[in-house]
Structure 1
Amino acid sequence: MREMHATAAAALDATPIGSREAWGWRGRTLSRPVATASGERWLRLVSAPADKAGGKLWEGPQEAERLMPPAVPKPRLWERRTWTEGEHGYLAELHDKITASTITTHEPILREAPELDDAWWNGLSTALDAIATVPSDRVAVRQEYLDRAMPQYLGIPIDTMVPSWTTAHGDLHWANLTGPALTVFDWEGWGAAPAGYDAALLHSYSLLVPDIAARIRQQLAHVLDTPAGQFAELVVITELLQTTTRGDNLDLEEQLRRRLFAIIG
């Protein structure tokens, strides 16, 4: 990945700065700050098996750059390159360099309360409302998955038909948000999802910090305190309970089940 990142930098006329490296899930991505003729940027390299190098995840950031409105604070995508070498395909993206830090560093779960002002929370609400209105044929959550997974992981008979669909970021957690100035990172998987999905996901990842979970419920009540919003919470709980069967998010399991019981009564 380091060798291919250097190849990408050369192709984009960029020079890595310093020794900082940001690695993604299981080493699938590698990002570093770089210098270009137009100033400092952030160079992100994505790797995938050659036969899977493309499709929705590959095109997500480019489509977000084209379609997301100004109310959504995201790094601008300036250039991109794709190529295949051996058994792997690569995608290099040159983004704005954002100086604000992500609220969590290595995991999506919130474990202590960040200091975020009212402007941050209002900006988040405005951004999610704006994302929800973006027309797209991309899909973040599939009805077929819900039909299968919700009864299995919730452990109850349930009507799995999504009551309302909107566009969602699809991976809204604390490692994809910055503070004290709000930026939303990671636009690979955005697309159609149950209405309220982003709010429900951020809320679930905040359950270990009750004050922040309560602030989310207050700030995004217009989304969460609706039948569609409650259904979105059940969708998220389904997904996260499934991850616990693989050994992930185990710290959240008890709180997820408590929230499940609170919703279903």
Structure 2
Amino acid sequence: MHAAAATAFDATPIGSREAWGWRGRTLSRPVATASGEGWLRLVSAPADKACGKLWEGPQEAERLMPPAVPRPRLRKRLTWTEDEHGYLAELYDEVTAPTVTTHEPILREAPDLNDAWWEGLSTALDAIATVSSDRVAVRQEYLDRAMPQYLGIPIDTTVPAWTTAHGDLHWANLTSPSLSVLDWEGWGVAPAGYDAALLYSYSLLVPDTAAEIRRQLGHILDTPAGRFAELVVITELLQTTTRGDNLGLERALRARLAYLTEG
């Protein structure tokens, strides 16, 4: 199907590099086209689920995200159904800088990121937060149910403030040394501070980087809304551990939870 998409876009795969997404639902490769090198991403889903928020996210990001948000530009897209599967092919501009982590969102060693990189990230998050959209990344109904369950404490689950978020801001979706923010499937409205809190939580195993995030993004995190966003993210990540994901983070997440709720 990836080869079929390349043919439809008059693109030729370059080399043997392949990038597989979470649980194999996407396959991406560098390609050559008449307008220059690019990146061809193919998404697969059961035919009855090949639609909706995740399907339309990158196209909507291309339409609405401001220039202050560095990201690969979407050139073309194509959707089709074959047998029991639906497919979405997207041709992006080439991004030459590698992602900070390759195979997982969790940070395990400190990256070499300069002040310009951090300033660009801070500017991007502030710009994303201003985008008006009816897309939803986190729902109040989910928080009402999940926060008491996974945090294990009585808690006011009312979100103090909502803003637009990338929704999946982790180290495998950020490039360096030049910053680009990848993967715009799930962006939408979330508790204010959600993106910064997610990146911070995925950095807990590297205390120096976690501290740098708080230094660089303190205007987001060191607020009542930012504290609440951390609890939201901890809820979500603790839930993932019950499915066998992010197990290496569980102890650090519970320690952070104790600090936020007891300190």
Q: TM-score range by the shorter chain?
A: over 0.9
What code does the residue aligned with 2:227 have?
A: Q
The C-alpha deviation readout for 1:86-128, integer Å capped at 9, x for no partner, is: 0000000000110000000000000000100000000000000
Partners of 1:14 and 1:80 in 2: how far apart?
Answer: 13
**How does 1:105-120 map onto structure 2 within 5 Å?**
105-120=102-117
The aligned residue for residue 182 of structure 1 is 179
1:214 positional shift: 0.4
Partners of 2:245 and 2:24 in 1: how far apart?
Answer: 17
The aligned residue for residue 143 of structure 2 is 146
Partners of 1:223 and 1:39 in 2: how far apart?
Answer: 38
Q: Quote the sequence identity (%).
A: 84
Partners of 1:243 and 1:81 in 2: how far apart?
Answer: 32
The aligned residue for residue 241 of structure 1 is 238
**How does 1:40-59 map onto structure 2 within 5 Å?**
40-59=37-56
The aligned residue for residue 130 of structure 1 is 127
Partners of 1:195 and 1:246 in 2: how far apart?
Answer: 27
CA RMSD of superposed structures (Å)? 0.5
Which stretches in structure 2 are left out of the alignment for 5+ residues? none
Partners of 2:159 and 2:104 in 1: how far apart?
Answer: 29
What code does the residue aligned with 2:64 have?
A: L
Among residues 195, 204, 208, which one is paired with 1:207 in the alignment?
204
Which stretches in structure 1 are left out of the alignment for 5+ residues? none
The aligned residue for residue 26 of structure 1 is 23
Secondary structure of residue in 2 paired with 1:73: coil
User: Which consecutive aligned stretches of 4+ in structure 1 deviate over 6 angstroms post-superposition?
Assistant: none
Secondary structure of residue in 2 paired with 1:157: coil
Partners of 1:35 and 1:247 in 2: how far apart?
Answer: 38
Structure 1 length as normaliser, TM-score?
0.98
Partners of 1:205 and 1:69 in 2: how far apart?
Answer: 26
1:26 positional shift: 1.1
Among residues 257, 262, 265, which one is paired with 2:259 in the alignment?
262
Structure 2 length as normaliser, TM-score?
0.99
Secondary structure of residue in 1 paired with 2:163: strand
Partners of 2:183 and 2:246 in 1: how far apart?
Answer: 20
1:247 positional shift: 1.2
Partners of 1:147 and 1:160 in 2: how far apart?
Answer: 6
Secondary structure of residue in 2 paired with 1:65: helix
